[in-house]
A and B are shown apart, each in its own frame.
Chain A
């Protein structure tokens, strides 16, 4: 502090001026103090910037830690410092780097929660201590006293900590990145009260940089590893795909010249963009953000048998016109079942189901599309066709040189699909074991045994005959039941009715949205059977006479036709809470009523609403109209027994019938309709009693 100048001048000044001088000098003292603090702070902020830029320039973790501690010593003057890193479990810290400790304990482990550094890790806040040794001595003597008293044993054992022996002062700072603790940064001193708040602040700033650098270095390592792994995977895929690629290249070379003009013209239209990738991912693709993905999908290959020799006698423009007509129709069918035409090669079509985002119905959709193609082909081409289907994991993404990259797939599953097509009989839909596993409950399928495939060894082959007929479907109909013995022929009536009255509706593609294949036809068949059964028995015949077969069939066939307007994703969710389920049902009803209006079947509006209400209220709303009740019981039964994508195992027939009787809708079999239904469907000689408990039992 500056002393006021002594001497004659000072003594001669009047009182007032002297007081003023003293005041100025006092203020000067305060100003000096502040300036010193500010200078220190400025200098040290500069130093920190230096440290930070040094740290962030490298991504090697060990190097970083060394540099930090060196800078903390030489630039900031903290001679003893260490960095501990948290392990993956988050339960202990490991000493990763130390400075000023000689050879001491790198690798030493500190449990979280023990000691000052362990507490910093546990509480994730800074801890500054100035009296460690004194405190420990104090506690040690207490501990000794406690151990000396009777019953004083049983204290936890003390822990040895890494760091300065005899450290009195310490600052520990948690290193946290994105809510995760990555470690602790600490400085120590043998002197007591060696650190103050300013030291805390400085080191906090450095610690932030340290934490970020550690996190970045780790990310960098993880990223490098991921890139290595991806390169390995792609190399494997590329090797496997070689054969297909060469075949494709061969065919492409043949048609390349001829197709070039066509492609150039189409490049001018907006259609070009749509051809590059499935419509759902075009926005991402245009942003350059469409990356590679792994997906489980189904792949369909078709091939016209004998096309080359057939077309050799035709003029070029006739070939193209016929082929494009064929492709137009095939693309339509594929699109109807939500497939994506990946490419056409010569007269072949390669279609993908389940791209670009994956779904649960891809195998069913692929097989349905394949069956439909074979079924409608005779009207579209004079030649027969082979179709092969396989399901499995692939990678998808944009492939090709920069200006010609297209959405494509890579994977062995693609090769297998192609092989399936090669070995398929003309006119048949051949599927692999993988596809079979996914679609078996829904289709009638013939196993064709194993076959030798070039480059693949022996593979199983299956041929899809068609959708499971109600009569063949053991899950829905027991062979010994009254329905199977006496009422099966009415199934054909139902299909005939459907074709005649509702030819404009593609029931199959609507049902495919949630895999409820032939559900509407089954409900109609059951409902019609119950109606005839009741009329035949003459029970309560007056009310049943009033019900027309036409209305039963129509209500049954159209009862959930609103599915056509709903997203398959919503239809296939397994709703765990009643509220969401109700919402979904409400939407379905709304779309169904809408369809009824457009079909000019306003007479079905009220019964349809009553049907939904009856099913939702679980019978709580009182007795429904007979028409509604018949369709309801058939619908509930088919829902229980038919295979569904989002439910687990379907009920066995006996269990389903017992459950039917237990449902509140049924009032303990007091409803004759439910009882009649059970009589019709139950296996012969079996007595069905309402289930005592609500538990689901699979027999």
Chain B
């Protein structure tokens, strides 16, 4: 499905994000990601997957391609979950590395009321893979009366 513009804006912002996958025995797995982007009118989203500790995630994606990508804003708890199919993974470009660095800086500021800088800065974000997936459904995860509701096209 085409990702609505507001959601594209949202997932390009200083949001916490992570990807859920599963293996052949339907055992789930989760891993934190660092940065993402989409495009207006597009039905794909790309996120940056740090290579350290990424073996399980990549193995799951290659074998069955099922994934769920969640983005959440710390202070407001606004959150969306995008479900879809893995398309491709490749090494990040220099431009993407710059985008990621900017994202990390912005995220640090955004989360400052809740976490000190070293909480975020200590993670090993590079090298990373740019992982693209095709969006099949989007869900509102914001806690409250609309939680769990589907976001329309």
- List residues of A whose CB falls within 8 A of some B CB: 134, 137-138, 141-142, 145-146, 149, 152
Is the pair B143, A138 in contact by a Cβ cutoff of 8 Å? yes
Is the pair A137, B143 in contact by a Cβ cutoff of 8 Å? no
Is the pair B145, A152 in contact by a Cβ cutoff of 8 Å? yes
Is the pair A141, B77 in contact by a Cβ cutoff of 8 Å? yes
Determine how close the nearest CB of chain B comes to the CB of A135; give it in whole angstroms: 12
Is the pair B145, A141 in contact by a Cβ cutoff of 8 Å? no
Task: Give the complex CA separation of A142 and B142 in angstroms.
Answer: 9
Determine how close the nearest CB of chain A comes to the CB of B45; give it in whole angstroms: 25
Residues of B near A138 (CB, < 8 A) are 77, 143
B122 CB within 8 Å of chain A: no
Q: Which residue of A lies closest to B144 (CB)?
A: A145
Task: Give the complex CA separation of A149 and B76 in angstroms.
Answer: 17
Residues of A near B75 (CB, < 8 A) are 137
A149/B114 contact (C-beta < 8 A), A137-B75, A138-B77, A141-B77 known: no
A-B interface contact total, Cβ < 8 Å: 22
Q: Is the interface of A mostly helix, strand, loop or mixed?
A: helix
Q: Which of A137, A145, A149, A152 is B142 in contact with, Cβ under 8 Å?
A: A145
Known interface pairs A137-B75, A138-B77, A141-B77; 4 further A-B residue pairs with C-beta atoms within 8 A, sorted by A's residue number: A137-B77, A142-B77, A145-B144, A149-B145
CB<8 Å pairs between A and B, sample of 19: A134-B114, A137-B75, A137-B77, A138-B77, A138-B143, A141-B76, A141-B143, A141-B144, A142-B77, A142-B144, A145-B142, A145-B143, A145-B144, A145-B145, A145-B146, A146-B144, A146-B145, A149-B146, A152-B145
Task: Give the complex CA separation of A145 and B144 in angstroms.
Answer: 6
Flag B5-44 by CB within 8 Å of A: 1 or 0 each: 0000000000000000000000000000000000000000
- List residues of B whose CB falls within 8 A of some A CB: 75-77, 114, 142-146
Residues of A near B114 (CB, < 8 A) are 134
Task: Give the complex CA separation of A138 and B79 in angstroms.
Answer: 12
Task: Give the complex CA separation of A142 and B114 in angstroms.
Answer: 18
Task: Give the complex CA separation of A149 and B147 in angstroms.
Answer: 13
Task: Give the complex CA separation of A547 and B135 in angstroms.
Answer: 113
Residues of A near B142 (CB, < 8 A) are 145
Residues of A near B145 (CB, < 8 A) are 145-146, 149, 152
Residues of A near B76 (CB, < 8 A) are 141
Q: List 8 A-B pairs, minimum CB-CB distance, nearest first.
A: A145-B144, A141-B77, A142-B144, A149-B145, A142-B143, A146-B145, A141-B76, A145-B145
Determine how close the nearest CB of chain B comes to the CB of A248; give it in whole angstroms: 86
Determine how close the nearest CB of chain A comes to the CB of B50; give it in whole angstroms: 25
Task: Give the complex CA separation of A21 and B75 in angstroms.
Answer: 51
Q: Which residue of A lies closest to B115 (CB)?
A: A192
Residues of B near A141 (CB, < 8 A) are 76-77, 143-144
Q: Which residue of A lies closest to B146 (CB)?
A: A145
Task: Give the complex CA separation of A142 and B77 in angstroms.
Answer: 9
Q: Which residue of A lies closest to B75 (CB)?
A: A137
Q: Which residue of A lies closest to B78 (CB)?
A: A141
Residues of B near A146 (CB, < 8 A) are 144-145
Determine how close the nearest CB of chain B comes to the CB of A191; give it in whole angstroms: 11
Residues of A near B143 (CB, < 8 A) are 138, 141-142, 145
Determine how close the nearest CB of chain A comes to the CB of B85; give it in whole angstroms: 31
Determine how close the nearest CB of chain A comes to the CB of B124; give it in whole angstroms: 24
Task: Give the complex CA separation of A412 and B77 in angstroms.
Answer: 79
Determine how close the nearest CB of chain B comes to the CB of A29; give it in whole angstroms: 24
Task: Give the complex CA separation of A142 and B145 in angstroms.
Answer: 8
Task: Give the complex CA separation of A142 and B143 in angstroms.
Answer: 6
Q: Which residue of B lies closest to A133 (CB)?
A: B114
Residues of A near B146 (CB, < 8 A) are 145, 149
Residues of B near A134 (CB, < 8 A) are 114
Determine how close the nearest CB of chain A comes to the CB of B83; give it in whole angstroms: 23
Task: Give the complex CA separation of A224 and B75 in angstroms.
Answer: 57
Task: Give the complex CA separation of A137 and B75 in angstroms.
Answer: 8
Residues of B near A145 (CB, < 8 A) are 142-146
Determine how close the nearest CB of chain B comes to the CB of A164; give it in whole angstroms: 16
Residues of A near B77 (CB, < 8 A) are 137-138, 141-142
Task: Give the complex CA separation of A374 and B143 in angstroms.
Answer: 94
Determine how close the nearest CB of chain B comes to the CB of A138; give it in whole angstroms: 6
Q: Which of A137, A142, A145, A149 has the most CB of B within 10 A?
A: A145
Q: Which residue of B lies closest to A140 (CB)?
A: B77
Determine how close the nearest CB of chain B comes to the CB of A680; give it in whole angstroms: 86
Q: Which residue of B lies closest to A149 (CB)?
A: B145
Task: Give the complex CA separation of A142 and B144 in angstroms.
Answer: 5
Determine how close the nearest CB of chain B comes to the CB of A348; give it in whole angstroms: 91
Q: Which residue of A lies closest to B114 (CB)?
A: A134
Q: Which residue of B lies closest to A141 (CB)?
A: B77
Task: Give the complex CA separation of A138 and B141 in angstroms.
Answer: 13
Residues of A near B144 (CB, < 8 A) are 141-142, 145-146
Q: Which of A137, A138, A152 has the most CB of B within 10 A?
A: A137
Residues of B near A152 (CB, < 8 A) are 145
Task: Give the complex CA separation of A149 and B142 in angstroms.
Answer: 14
Residues of B near A149 (CB, < 8 A) are 145-146
Q: Which residue of A lies closest to B142 (CB)?
A: A145
Determine how close the nearest CB of chain A comes to the CB of B96; give it in whole angstroms: 32
Determine how close the nearest CB of chain B comes to the CB of A154; give it in whole angstroms: 14
Task: Give the complex CA separation of A145 and B146 in angstroms.
Answer: 9
Determine how close the nearest CB of chain B comes to the CB of A150; give it in whole angstroms: 10
Task: Give the complex CA separation of A156 and B77 in angstroms.
Answer: 22
Task: Give the complex CA separation of A615 and B61 in angstroms.
Answer: 94
Task: Give the complex CA separation of A138 and B142 in angstroms.
Answer: 10
Determine how close the nearest CB of chain B comes to the CB of A190; give it in whole angstroms: 13
Determine how close the nearest CB of chain A comes to the CB of B16; give it in whole angstroms: 13
Task: Give the complex CA separation of A141 and B144 in angstroms.
Answer: 8
Determine how close the nearest CB of chain A comes to the CB of B115; give it in whole angstroms: 10
Task: Give the complex CA separation of A152 and B144 in angstroms.
Answer: 11
Q: Which residue of B lies closest to A152 (CB)?
A: B145
Determine how close the nearest CB of chain A comes to the CB of B144; give it in whole angstroms: 3
Task: Give the complex CA separation of A138 and B146 in angstroms.
Answer: 15
Determine how close the nearest CB of chain A comes to the CB of B24; give it in whole angstroms: 36
Task: Give the complex CA separation of A141 and B79 in angstroms.
Answer: 12
Q: Which of A134, A138, A142, A152 has the most CB of B within 10 A?
A: A142
Determine how close the nearest CB of chain A comes to the CB of B72; give it in whole angstroms: 11
Q: Which of B75, B114, B144, B146 has the most CB of A within 10 A?
A: B144
Determine how close the nearest CB of chain A comes to the CB of B80; give it in whole angstroms: 15
Task: Give the complex CA separation of A149 and B144 in angstroms.
Answer: 10
Determine how close the nearest CB of chain B comes to the CB of A192; give it in whole angstroms: 9
Q: Which residue of A lies closest to B143 (CB)?
A: A142
Q: Which residue of B lies closest to A145 (CB)?
A: B144
Task: Give the complex CA separation of A492 and B142 in angstroms.
Answer: 101
Task: Give the complex CA separation of A146 and B77 in angstroms.
Answer: 14
Q: Which residue of B lies closest to A144 (CB)?
A: B144
Task: Give the complex CA separation of A20 and B143 in angstroms.
Answer: 55
Q: Which of B75, B142, B145, B146 has the most CB of A within 10 A?
A: B145
Task: Give the complex CA separation of A622 and B7 in angstroms.
Answer: 96
Task: Give the complex CA separation of A149 and B77 in angstroms.
Answer: 17
Determine how close the nearest CB of chain B comes to the CB of A146; give it in whole angstroms: 6
Q: Which residue of B lies closest to A151 (CB)?
A: B145
Task: Give the complex CA separation of A146 and B76 in angstroms.
Answer: 14
Task: Give the complex CA separation of A152 and B77 in angstroms.
Answer: 19
Determine how close the nearest CB of chain A comes to the CB of B111; give it in whole angstroms: 12
Determine how close the nearest CB of chain A comes to the CB of B70; give it in whole angstroms: 16
Residues of B near A137 (CB, < 8 A) are 75, 77
Determine how close the nearest CB of chain A comes to the CB of B146; give it in whole angstroms: 7
Task: Give the complex CA separation of A422 and B109 in angstroms.
Answer: 101
Task: Give the complex CA separation of A145 and B78 in angstroms.
Answer: 10
